[in-house]
Amino acid sequence: MDIKVNKKIAAGRGGWTFVWLVAAAVFLVACGGGEQTVAAVAPTFAAPPPSGQISMGGGALGGNAATTVLAQAQLAQLPAGPLAWVTHRVELPAGAEMVHRHSTAFVYAAQGEHGLDVESLPEGRGAAVMEGIEHRHHAPGGASVFWETRLDRSGSVAAGIDSDVLFESPVLVEIPATPFAVFVLVVIPPGGATSVHTHPGPEFIYQLSGGIDYQNDIIGVRRMTPGDVEGIPPVTAVQKRNPTGEDAAFLSWFLVDSSQPFASPAGFNDTALGPNLALLENGASVAGVSSNFGGGTNDSAFELPSETNVTSVGFWTRTMGDSAQVNLFRVTTDRGETYGPFSVDDATTIYRFDTRFTAKRLRFELLDTTGGNTGAVEIEVYGEPMP
């Protein structure tokens, strides 16, 4: 089946824009088995052990994943929203420096040693910078590449940074009023997994190396490879599994309620929908888009040998606060049959809709949006390929 997917769909309010989806499924990009009876960690990480390890059984996230705290900070208040984690990549030649101030952020030494005021961060380590505090970045021992991940408005740029956004999270929802911000590195060994768990606040992850099967109660399962991002709202069951033969590492940013355990054992809801056919690993690929923010071609086409009985579709709209949100869409098949309209209430989760049709190609048409760079965080298609 053909399905078209889009990284960015441009549409005006009241008009419509379309995406063709390939393979009875769609892939649209924008947060594993361990024991579920281990004790949760203490409410805060005021004094982690010298190794940086925090404890929930074998690690903060359970299972046999190793979790290292890179930095943490208690926030007295939140900046004006809507908020996201916004990451810039900055290169400093040897001996260079930059001085600025901005909202609360985490710094990560991505390549080489990085100087932050009087502190020196070895490669792969992190630090916290509090809101409004002037600070100096410098490259004391050679060229330094660092990432600065700010809690700020989506798409914002901090003063003094001459760099494009490397990646950013979806708009964060249900943030605790005075959250405890935590920045961690998680490494899962070959064949390993975290436990199934929840957090008392939103989580955002960036895949650094290797590959994981990422599962949560909203999107199901997707394969993540270096450069992929995902996020979940509070109290959403999640697990990360490493099915490969090498270590898999990802970075995670949290805003949690410090009066609650950092991670609590959980279980997945059984949606009985089967595999999400809209994932690349399940055979989907991009057939065409109206526009592509990622810079890829808009006319690629891929087909599967059989049609699919589609029983459910899901749509999770992106948002930029007061713009870029999809309110209404419909689905058109390669047979010219149209289904919908389907109403999307908000951008906090994926909305699923029961369907009953057979198709080899699907087109998602946006009927009503708030304007701006509209698109989808996730598209799902469920069903059974025809023999």
Examine the pLDDT at 29 and tell me if it is beyond 90: no
Decide: residue 113, CB within 10 A, 0-12 exposed, 13-18 middle, 19+ buried. Answer: middle
E strand intervals along 104-219: 105-111, 114-116, 119-121, 126-129, 135-138, 144-153, 165-168, 180-188, 197-198, 203-209, 212-216
Q: What are the sequence ranges of the domains in the chain? A: 2-28+278-385, 43-69+179-260, 83-168
What's the confidence (pLDDT) of residue 107? 96
Closest CA to 315 of 219, 230, 379: 379
List, for residues 105-115, the tens digit of each pLDDT value: 999 999 999 99
Candidates 3.40.1000, 2.60.40, 2.60.120, 2.40.360; CATH matching 2-28+278-385: 2.60.120
What's the confidence (pLDDT) of residue 124? 95
Determine whether domain 43-69+179-260 maps to CATH 3.30.70.3420: no
Mean of pLDDT over the chain:
77
Q: How confident is the model at residue 307 (pLDDT cuts 50, 70, 90)?
A: confident
What's the confidence (pLDDT) of residue 288? 62
What's the confidence (pLDDT) of residue 286? 57
Q: Please tell me if the domain spanning 43-69+179-260 has the same topology as the one spanning 83-168.
A: yes
Return the CATH number of the domain spanning residue range 83-168: 2.60.120.10
